[in-house]
Every structure is written in structure tokens, then in C-alpha cells.
Amino acid sequence: MTKQEKVNFVINTLYKLYPEIPIPLDHKDPYTLLIAVLMSAQSTDVRVNKITPLLFERADNPYDMIKLSVEEIREIIKPVGLSPMKSKGIHGLSQILIDKHNGDVPKTYEALEELPAVGHKTAAVVLSQAFGIPAFPVDTHIHRLMYRWNLTNGKNVVQTEKDAKRIFPEELWNDLHLQIIWYGRQYSPARGWDLEKDIITKTIGRKSVLDEYYKKKKK
């Protein structure tokens, strides 16, 4: 297969598997998505989805959020981990949204990345999922799969994101990043990986990755 045929195979397979693409984090507007994504750092979406309703019951907008103390926020979100940093970030960014953006979530990387506890990936998720602006947020699943599929040699997520944006058509970015995440969780996980179920890696996978897999299977 040529590189382009491989890319087309990935796109077509993912659209067959995920014609409807669920959003992993529960939210109702850009602000609640921003908070949910911030909370998901080094945690799982399942855990975040259990905790956000408790937080949003108390405050689902920046004006109500700043009425809570950092300590109160921390107490609610403790189960998701890293709560000292995340609670400060949530309180701090809510204040900045009020002071600088009339309480609205901004629609640019620059403005989003100026907010406390908001990095490039969080900004990309918000732009893509809240506003439909083309972005390609790269998480650990996407980083792993793009390498397994020999579509990047990226040693880090920055390079992987550049490669993903270069090879995939921009109008598909917002769908594809979610489809790859779901595929990674269901068919190509880091642990307990069964290549027989992973049709994409089995078909176009990097030779060194496949060799390593079969070597381990023999042991």
C-alpha cells in the first residue's frame, strides 16, 4: 500500500466502525466542556463523568464557580486526582473568563492557553468539540496509534499532531481524533492488546511493532 492508500484505509475503517461519534466527556456548553477536559488530565473520562455532575450542580458557569472557594472545588473534584492544581485552575480561569471575556469561553488557541491549567491539548479539544473549529488534539491513544500505524515517527505529541494535520484532510480532523481515541480504547489498547481484533494495525502496522508483538506472543 502507498502512504495515501494507508491513510484512506484508516479513514474508511474508522468511519465504518464509528459513523456516529460519541463525545467522551459529558457537557452542555463550552464552559462545562472546558472544565471537564481540564479535570480529565491524568484521569479517566469515566471518572470525570461521575464527578462533573456534582460540581456542575453547584456551579455550571464562571459566575457561580467563583462563589465557591478553591478548597470547596477541591473537595468535590478530589476523586479525579491532581485536585490541588485543578481546583486552583478552575477557580482562576473562571475569574479570568469574567474579567477578560465577559464570562464566555474564547475561541482561539492563544486566549485559551493563557488560562491557568489549560494546555495546548485542552485548548484543541475545546475548539474542536465546543466550536467545531478544525483541531487535532493528540492524547496518548492517538500518539500510540499513529506510531503503530507508521504514520508518524513522533517522539512526542507535538510532532504527532503536526503529522496528523499534514496527512489527514482538515475537514475530517474533528471526527478523526475522536474516532481514533475510541478505536484505541476498543481495539488497540496499550495493555491487553489483541492484534487479531486490531484490523488497522494488522493491515498497515509498522513492521518493528508487529515483529515485537509476535515475538512476545511466542514467549
Which residues carry out catalysis? Answer: 121, 139
Contacts of 90 (CB under 8 A, 6+ apart): 35, 38, 39, 65, 73, 77, 117
> What is the rounded CA–CA span in Å between residue 192 and residue 60?
38
Instruction: Give me the torsion for CA of 39, 40, 45, 51, rounded to 10°.
Output: -20
Distance from chain centroid for Cα 50: 18
d(CA 38, CA 83): 11
Q: How far apart are CA 75 and CA 148, in angstroms?
A: 40
